[in-house]
Amino acid sequence: MLCIKKRGGAEMKGKRILIIGAMIIFAGIVALASIHFMSRQKPELLKKEKAEEILIKEEEPVKGPKVDKPKEAKPALQETPEAEAPAEQEAVLSARLRTEPSEVEIEVEEGGRKSSEFTLINDGPGKVLFNIYKVDKADTPAEIDQAVEQLIAYKKDKLPEKPAEEDLEKTGLFRGAPWLIQFPYYGILGPGETLDVKLAAVASNLEIGSNSTNLIILGLNKEEIAVVPVHVEVKAAPRIRFADIKVDDGVTPGTKGNLDNVAGPGEKVAFTVYLDNQGNGKAKGLTVTATADNASVTVLEGEAKLDFVEAKGRFNARFLIDVSDDAITTSPPSVTLTIKDSEGREWTENFYVGEPGKFDYPTGLISDEKKPEKVEEGL
């Protein structure tokens, strides 16, 4: 019995050893299989990891503030001072067009005309296609800015055509100051070029005192702009106008004729001319002279003098002429009156001998200003 038990214990021990060995072998097989699988998958995993690493590197400039490449710093350089200081930007841009002088002052007598000028300068790097507009309803900077905005919109629709007057009328801003003429009113100015802009103030319908307008010189946008205030001071002055004429052909001594109050061939005629000072200034030291430019009329007494005539006052001058017997009434000769004052002003009136020698009313005032100053071409 004892012998049998020992044998059975040995068998059990042998089985255990076999099981353990089998487990070790199985574990080894599993390990080898795992090693083999991993060795085959490793290249693919490495590729995937490398691709993810590259992707992460490409996204780093967006996700982080640090930038390695110089060109990635470009957005920071684009943050210019203009974005932080718009007022300073406007001052720099406005320097493209400027004028000398910056304002224009003109002093003119009522009813007269006076010329002036300023120089337009292009300080910008490019060529400027400009127009000059008169804006007399914009006095404050805000009103001028509003006018400029409307003009920019208008110009962008119109370029390269010059402004049409009817289009400017529609804006309601650019129709004023008919008493100021500028020449030219549009043009092209290259970099560094200058242009003299001529002005003429015509005071025929202006009240005495100050009159102002703004000239806005504008290119395509707000960078190309210059604003020139123009101030015109109208001074009181005399203005001589014809009022009436009376003819004496035989009534008073020294005259002869047929007493019909007209000047005819073969008559000696005295005529008195009545003249009004329609201005608001006193006329001083007046000399009135009668002249004839043909052989049919001879001036016998042709000059009259007067110390002064008050504003809105009237005066008269008497002259004596001789009309020849062969005066051609179909081509009437003329008598010219020239009125001068002591300050250099001059006015003229023309009278014609008509059928059968009657003095017609004058053809109109030829000049209403001081003895001519040169008027620039184009004005």
Q: Give me the pLDDT at residue 368, please.
A: 28
Domain 96-235, second-level architecture: Sandwich (2.60)
Q: 224-280, pLDDT tens digit by residue?
A: 889 999 999 999 999 999 888 888 889 999 999 888 887 888 899 898 999 999 999
Q: 57-69, pLDDT tens digit by residue?
A: 544 544 445 555 5
Q: Give me the pLDDT at residue 148, please.
A: 80
- Give SS3 for 379: coil
| C-alpha span between 275 and 278 (Å, rounded) | 9
Domain 240-370, second-level architecture: Sandwich (2.60)
128-142, 147-161, 277-291: lowest mean pLDDT where? 147-161
Q: Give me the pLDDT at residue 124, please.
A: 84
Q: 299-353, pLDDT tens digit by residue?
A: 999 999 999 999 999 999 999 999 888 876 555 667 899 999 999 999 998 876 5
pTM over 0.85: no
Tell me the average pLDDT across 86-114: 75
Neighbouring C-alpha atoms within 13 Å toward the C-beta of 327: 26
Task: Identify which has the larger pLDDT, 216 or 44.
Answer: 216
| C-alpha span between 304 and 322 (Å, rounded) | 18
Query: Which residues of the chain does CATH 2.60.40.10 include?
Result: 96-235, 240-370
**Mean pLDDT comparison of 47-56, 212-221, 273-282, 359-368, highest-scoring range:** 273-282
**Mean pLDDT comparison of 3-12, 37-46, 175-184, highest-scoring range:** 175-184
**Helix, strand, coil share of the chain (percent; to 5):** 30, 35, 35
| Arithmetic mean of pLDDT over the chain | 74
